[in-house]
Amino acid sequence: MVRRGHRAPAAAPRDKSTPRLVSVVVPVRDGARTLAAQLTALSRQTGAVPYEVLVVDNGSTDATREVAERARAGLRNLRIVDASDRPGESRARNRGIAAARGDFVAFCDADDVADSGWLAAMTEAAKGADLVGGGLDTSVLSPAHTDEQPLPMDAQTDFLPFARGANCGAWKDVLTAMGGWDERYRGGGEDMDLSWRAQLCGYLVRYAGDAVMHYRLREDLTALARQKWNYGRSGAQLYAAYRRAGFRRREGRVVVMNWCWLVLHVPDLVRSPAPRRRYVRYGARLAGFLAGSVRRGVRYL
């Protein structure tokens, strides 16, 4: 794992060649309800690059494995990889990297749905990059929440751009040289860490907006709050790790405005669903910032 100093052994320079084989890694834990749709989408990918699909089971207790087994009819190169020894998406992804036979590894989630041209666009972008991030679209799976559309990678302004874990890929030698995903990040932040580490090591990270993944937002407010809480905690963790590399915390006036907004909008919790959902999103994330700051011994509010 590349840590202090952010330097890794240089991988072979890219020569605009197409990957020989792509390994698609799908980490999953209790994803029986949504996994079939993602595997069906992966079986319908266009393009000429051969690929395998690795469903990495991170300790499921539902019918996830049975769903994956049934999908073999449409995905001859599907394998199920066990990662039940330790929970965490990064753990599962690292197991996928270790098991991958391809020279390029693409990552997607079990609750999303890949566009038919996703893999072709990812491999095209891989010809000139070390790590690739694709686009996320919420309009198909979460049309009621278009205001929560994730910001495209080329529009990110905080520190360095990052490829989201739900839609990214990298050459296997690059992932190996960097030590893979950092398993200390749980529930968020691991994708920022991977992309930032890659760039600080001198690798080229590229955005492929046409590599579209249809992204599913959390509908249940408890699940949404847990996700945003984890994102907030990871923000403090990232600040502790990258502040010396240039990652800046919010200005004091912005912090005050955010917390004032939270206090003033408490009545939103008993209003209509949209304001209530917005309050939960913002409130859980700010609470995560606070909890993460205490945990990491930093001030990231």
Q: What is the DSSP letter of 17?
A: P
Task: Strand 167-171: give its sheet, edge to edge.
Answer: 78-82, 51-57, 22-28, 104-108, 167-171, 131-137, 205-214, 113-114
The span from the CA of 42 to the CA of 22, in Å, is 12
Cβ distance 116 to 44 under 8 Å? yes
The span from the CA of 146 to the CA of 206, in Å, is 25
In sequence order, what are the beta bridge partners of 168? 107, 133
Please give the model's pTM, rounded to 2 decimal places.
Answer: 0.93
Q: The tokens of 162 are what?
A: 């990052």
Q: What is the pLDDT of residue 186?
A: 92
- CA-atom Rg of the chain in angstroms: 19
- Residues in the chain with pLDDT values less than 50: 3-11
Q: What is the dihedral of CA 37, 39, 42, 44, to 10 degrees?
A: -70
Per residue in 113-154, pLDDT (tens digit) is 999 999 999 999 999 999 999 999 999 999 999 889 999 998
Q: The tokens of 20 are what?
A: 């020989």
The residue type at 105 = V
Q: What is the pLDDT of residue 156?
A: 87
Give the DSSP H or E segment for 193.
helix 190-200
Q: The tokens of 265 are what?
A: 């909008």
Q: What is the pLDDT of residue 17?
A: 84
Cβ distance 300 to 292 under 8 Å? yes
Q: Which of 245, 238, 235, 252 is nearest to 290 (CA)?
A: 235
Q: What is the pLDDT of residue 1?
A: 57
Q: What is the pLDDT of residue 48?
A: 85
Q: What is the DSSP letter of 281?
A: H
Rounded to 5°, the CA angle 39-41-43 comes to 70
Which domains are seen in the chain, by residue range? 22-214 (3.90.550.10), 221-296 (no CATH)
